[in-house]
Amino acid sequence: MKRIFILLIFGLIGSPFVKAQELNCSVEIMSQQVQGVNPAIFESLEQMIFEFMNNRKWTKDQFTIEERIRCSIVINIDPSASASSNRYTGTLQIISGRPIFNTDYYSPVLNIQDKNFQFEYVPNTQYVFNPDNFQHNLLHVLAFYAYLIIGYDYDTYSLRGGTPYYQQAQRIVQAASTSNAEGWKAFEGDKNRYWLAEDIMHRTFEPMRDCLYEYHRLGMDLMSEKMPKGRTACMRALVKMDKVHKVKPLAYSTQAFFLAKSDEIVNIFSQADPPERNQLFEVISKVDPGNLGKYEKMQKGK
235-245 pLDDT per residue, tens = 999 999 999 99
Indicate whether 239 belongs to any domain: yes
Question: What is the pLDDT, as a whole number, of residue 79?
Answer: 87
**CA dihedral of residues 253, 258, 264, 265 (deg, nearest 10):** 120
Question: What is the pLDDT, as a whole number, of residue 85?
Answer: 79
Q: What distance in Å separates the CA atoms of residue 242 and residue 281, rounded to the nearest whole number?
A: 12
Indicate whether 226 belongs to any domain: yes
Q: Are 194 and 251 in contact (CB under 8 A)?
A: no
Contacts of 45 (CB under 8 A, 6+ apart): 29, 121, 123
215-256 pLDDT per residue, tens = 999 999 999 999 999 999 999 999 999 999 999 999 999 999
Indicate whether 235 belongs to any domain: yes
Q: What percent of the chain has pLDDT over 90?
A: 85
**Domain count within the chain:** 1
Phi/psi at 59 (nearest 5 deg)? -130, 175
108-165 pLDDT per residue, tens = 999 999 998 999 999 989 999 999 999 999 999 999 999 999 999 999 999 999 999 9
The gap between the terminal CA atoms of the chain, to the nearest Å, is 39
Averaged confidence pLDDT in the chain: 92
Q: Is pLDDT of 10 > 60?
A: no
String of DSSP letters for 32-89: TT--SS-HHHHHHHHHHHHHHHHHS--SSS-EEGGGSEEEEEEEEE-TT-BTTTTEEE
Indicate whether 182 belongs to any domain: no
Continuous segment of H or E residues that includes residue 239: helix 227-239
Indicate whether 156 belongs to any domain: no
Q: What distance in Å separates the CA atoms of residue 104 and residue 273, rounded to the nearest whole number?
A: 26
Indicate whether 280 belongs to any domain: yes
Indicate whether 259 belongs to any domain: yes
- On whether the pTM is more than 0.85, the answer is yes
Q: Is pLDDT of 2 > 90?
A: no
263-293 pLDDT per residue, tens = 999 999 998 999 999 999 999 999 999 999 9
Indicate whether 206 belongs to any domain: no
- Identify the band that residue 98 occupies on the pLDDT scale cut at 50, 70 and 90: very high
- Domain span at residue 230 reads 222-302
Q: Spell out the alpha helix ranges (H) of 56-192.
A: 137-157, 163-176
